[in-house]
């Protein structure tokens, strides 16, 4: 399988890239941090690391170049994102916009760049959050983050319909708390019940099999709420 992972330099994205490559899959690992991506490449020859800002870089060119080498894409995991913990009244419009750029627009740009290069039967997974899952408990300080993840969930439903003609399934996994650097930075000292490695194992398995049973679904992946 040929798999693209965004936000691959740390946390869940790093584990996704490592586990997929160890299972024998080709991985295009995208992130903004060069040093950490180099470390990934040293782990496996099946990982192609590319340093790119998904908001500013030529995503389509990166995808096209990789596809020329390995063939068409089977799985896209839109994992890149940011987490801002700040009271609503103190959050600037610019900070809101930054959260939507990081958590929604990056997935838009990457999906647009990849869809023409995907095989029929391919699967796009949008990594969203229980914070953006309708009906879940909401928490102070996460208005920008949660609303952006909610938007990504609705985008998932829209793309599932649009991509049916291409034979591509699109689903979202609404994750609960996972122990990552991003979570630690936003909530210092908080201990999540699931490690990045454990969650990556679940996501990889779902990416390979889930499209046989689901399309356009927003699936909670959480022990509790969140």
Catalytic positions, written as ranges: 145
Identify the DSSP state of 149. H
Token pair, residue 114, equals: 């990849």
The length of the chain, given as a count of residues: 226
Using alpha carbons, list the distances in angstroms from residue 141 to 9, 95, 109, 127, 137.
Answer: 26, 12, 27, 20, 13
Which residue is it, tokens 């750029």? 101
Helix (H, G, I), strand (E, B) or coil at 63: helix
Asked if residue 108 lies in contact with residue 126, where contact means CB atoms within 8 angstroms, the answer is: no
Token pair, residue 12, equals: 């869940």
Q: How far apart are CA 59 and CA 53, in angstroms?
A: 9
In the chain the first and final C-alpha atoms are separated, in Å, by 32
Asked if residue 108 lies in contact with residue 80, where contact means CB atoms within 8 angstroms, the answer is: no
């Amino acid at each position: 399988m040929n798999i693209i992972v965004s936000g691959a330099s740390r946390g869940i994205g790093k584990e996704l890239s490592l586990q997929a490559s160890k299972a024998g899959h080709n991985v295009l690992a995208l992130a903004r941090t060069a040093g950490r991506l180099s470390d990934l490449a040293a782990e496996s020859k099946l990982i192609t690391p590319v340093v790119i800002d998904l908001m500013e870089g030529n995503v389509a060119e990166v995808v096209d170049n990789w596809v020329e080498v390995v063939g068409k894409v089977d799985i896209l995991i839109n994992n890149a994102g940011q987490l801002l913990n700040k009271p609503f009244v103190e959050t600037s419009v610019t900070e809101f916009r930054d959260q939507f750029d990081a958590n929604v627009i990056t997935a838009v740009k990457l999906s647009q760049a990849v869809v023409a290069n995907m095989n029929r039967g391919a699967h796009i997974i949008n990594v969203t959050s229980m914070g953006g899952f309708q009906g879940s408990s909401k928490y102070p300080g996460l208005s920008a983050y949660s609303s952006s993840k909610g938007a990504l969930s609705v985008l998932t439903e829209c793309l599932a319909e649009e991509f049916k003609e291409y034979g591509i399934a699109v689903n979202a996994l609404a994750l609960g708390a996972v122990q990552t650097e991003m979570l630690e930075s936003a909530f210092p000292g908080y201990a999540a019940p699931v490690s990045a490695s454990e969650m990556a194992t679940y996501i990889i398995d779902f990416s390979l099999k889930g499209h046989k049973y689901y399309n356009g679904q927003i699936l909670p992946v959480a022990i509790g709420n969140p």
